[in-house]
Structure 1
Amino acid sequence: MIRKRNLLALTLGCSLASSASADMLWSDFSLSYLNGSDYEVVTPTGEMETLTFEHASGHSWGDTFLFIDRLMPDARDSTFYGEFSPRLGLSALSGADLSAGPVKDVLLAGTWEMGDGFDNQLYGVGFALNVPGFRYFNLNLYRASNDRWDDDEQLTLSWAYPFAIGNADFLIDGFLDWSSSSDSNASEMNFTPQLKWNAGKHLGLKAPLHVGLEYSHWNNKFGIKGRNERNASLLLKLHF
């Protein structure tokens, strides 16, 4: 456990050290609100509101992604969940061009999952992919060191696909997490896309104000066999 956590700390430390002498290429902050009525496990009624703060940034050395959820379930106390995911590009680290075919870069990838009473560390390798039409398409392969259940493996995809219909701008983005099974939990698959319309464009805002839907298709939620979530939530997301 200590050796695994040190590896994640090394990934974070390299990212932070590199940022001191490298360029930031882009960054984005956002605050979003979700309201759904078919959540599993976290609330007895299925109803929950969520406030989410997100920050993403791209650098000459790699990229970072951070989000913190304030979960407000009906009939239960509020709680929080967050993730911090830095990736360090091996092209920048080695000085060599590692792009090949659809692969733009190969990266050292780490994620810190945090919540009330637990911390999980994930570490592995990531790939930044060049997929036509997509703003970004990322693939990460992790080994997860978990606090409350057995260690496992995880595959994570994330993507963003912008498109327009007439004068209206839309974005489909989201993620897919798949984790392996173990003695203490079932294999999970969480596919969560968002479909968003940029209302801010028509309100004179410089940054996007997205209105839309998030859909959660989660098999064996939290590793609980047979607890499958199929939940659509209303979404409001402000970028700044």
Structure 2
Amino acid sequence: MKLTQIFTACALASTVALTQAAPIWQDFSVTGLYGENYKSPFATGDEKIEQSTVTFEYGAGFKYGDFFAFADRSNNDPDGNETYFEVSPRLSLGAVSGQKLEFGPIKDVLVATTWEGGEGFNNYLYGIGFDLDIPYFKYAQLNFYKADNDKKITQDDYQMTFVYGVPFKVGAEDFLVDGFLDWSTAEDDHASELNWTTQYKWNVGKHISPDTRLYVGIEHSVWNNKYGNKAGIDQNDVSALVKYHF
């Protein structure tokens, strides 16, 4: 069976299972970002590039798993306007089997899939995921993928993704630190890649109303060998951030 067929079967099974019940929880948000230290593998030299990005995100939890998707619309001078998206359904093996798959810090085991798409490419990732119980973390996920990449762009590789969120208070103020770490393997045509992106946010919305979630803060992006570029294009950017949850 081809890798794309495996991905399609896993994603379809996950999506069908997730749509059988109303969400236990769901969240939709829009984020605006502006930074001045982005890097582009398509530029020359060591430019510091200004970039603005609007991100739309949706996440939901269901009886049989969870679902997350986002789309970025970004603009900078070397690359122009670009759109990138990810769609990530996961199917809970514990919920499907009716068994508690808990051991140590692991709360559940899931079939993990992701569809990555952008300007002229599509990548399909599939593998295994774990929900983790870590002190002080609101949530933590660890996913291991085999990536069936668009062969016109890059060879297949393997990826590890860690997703996390840590809320905390300072006096009466609410803060949230959340983000992800992606690490992928090196192959003949590209270098190993690490993208560690974290948002540090203060909820100013609670001063408007108790239920308003309007965050301001920064996003810190550390991206080594961006897009797997063997020339060593490393990005270290701090962007201004505004995020609103509907």
* TM-score calculated relative to the size of structure 2: 0.93
Which of 130, 134, 155 is 1:127 aligned to?
A: 130
Cα shift at 1:17: 1.5
- Output the CA distance in 1 between the equivalents of 2:2 and 2:210: 47
Is 1:56–2:55 an aligned residue pair?
no
Is 1:65–2:68 an aligned residue pair?
yes
Which of 180, 187, 209 is 2:185 aligned to?
A: 180
Aligned to 1:228: 234
* Partner deviation per Cα, 1:201-237 (whole Å, 9 max, x = no partner): 1112623101000001111000013100000000000
Q: What are the within-5 Å matches in structure 2 for residues 65-84 of structure 1?
A: 65-74=68-77, 76-84=79-87
Which of 139, 145, 152 is 2:157 aligned to?
A: 152
Cα shift at 1:74: 3.1
Which of 104, 109, 113 is 1:106 aligned to?
A: 109
How many equivalent residue pairs? Answer: 239
Aligned to 1:213: 218
- Output the CA distance in 1 between the equivalents of 2:242 and 2:198: 14
Cα shift at 1:191: 0.7
Aligned to 2:144: 141
Cα shift at 1:21: 2.6
Q: Supply the AA of the counterpart residue of 2:64.
A: W
- Output the CA distance in 2 between the equivalents of 1:20 and 1:28: 16
8 Å contact kept, 2:18–2:66:
no
Aligned-partner SS, 2:2: helix
Cα shift at 1:19: 2.6
8 Å contact kept, 1:11–1:86:
no
8 Å contact kept, 1:217–1:231:
yes
Which of 90, 93, 98 is 1:87 aligned to?
A: 90
- Output the CA distance in 2 between the equivalents of 1:136 and 1:13: 25
What are structure 1's unaligned runs of at least 5 residues? none
Percentage identity across aligned positions? Answer: 46
Q: Supply the AA of the counterpart residue of 1:95.
A: G
| Structure 1 stretches of at least 4 aligned residues deviating more than 4 Å after TM superposition | 42-45
Q: Supply the AA of the counterpart residue of 2:176.
A: L
